[in-house]
Amino acid sequence: MKNYILFGAPGAGKGTQSALIAKKYNFCHISTGDLLRKEINEGSEIGLKAKKIIENGNLVDDSIVLEILKCELKRKTDVNGFIFDGYPRTLNQAYDLEKLLGELGWGINKVVCLHIDDDMIFKRIQHRAQIENRKDDTSDEIIRQRIINYHTQTEPIVEYYIKQGKFVEIPGDTTIEQAFEDLCNLIDNS
């Protein structure tokens, strides 16, 4: 089972690239954001908790995310691996994911960062809000908070994966096709 984490700021292209990779390699695309939105749309108890947190521009509690993630990993048995789209987002989530995958006899092959600057993050999130009708992407204040959260809570896990020799960075400000080619080359050679 091959497992990759696609890492980067909100709007870096993780979702787009994860979907392309999942299709090409028969991986399961794991987007905790999509899993959370599904729970919110279904009005589940866990979804209602997550909704309030997301609407304030904050990250959902690790225990909530891990609970949803465990269920999804156990459901998917007919794939060659998983592509984690923007998860983990904190060091505690990285530890939790490593423990969970270890219990399943798996590990992480590579952590690939799609790097873009803050101005591009802002523009891409605003554009995504328009085309995907994502309410969590419409407020400038919430977008700013998401960028701050990324820099303060998510970026620190980079060092964790660098120490493991699993971290690779590629440009996220290229075309979709170029980023996909770069990712495929990495997967094919790891």
Q: What is the pTM of this model?
A: 0.81
Domain extents in the chain: 2-10+22-188
* Residue 72 burial class via C-beta count within 10 angstroms: exposed 0-12, middle 13-18, buried 19 and up: middle
- Across residues 92-104, what is the average pLDDT? 93
Determine contact, residues 119/173, Cβ cutoff 8 Å. no
Architecture of domain 2-10+22-188: 3-Layer(aba) Sandwich (3.40)
Determine contact, residues 167/158, Cβ cutoff 8 Å. yes
User: Which is higher by pLDDT, 149 or 179?
Assistant: 179
User: What pLDDT is recorded for position 136?
Assistant: 62
- Of residues 85, 88, 98, the one with CA closest to residue 11: 85
Distance CA 177, CA 144 (A): 28
Band (33; pLDDT cuts 50, 70, 90): confident
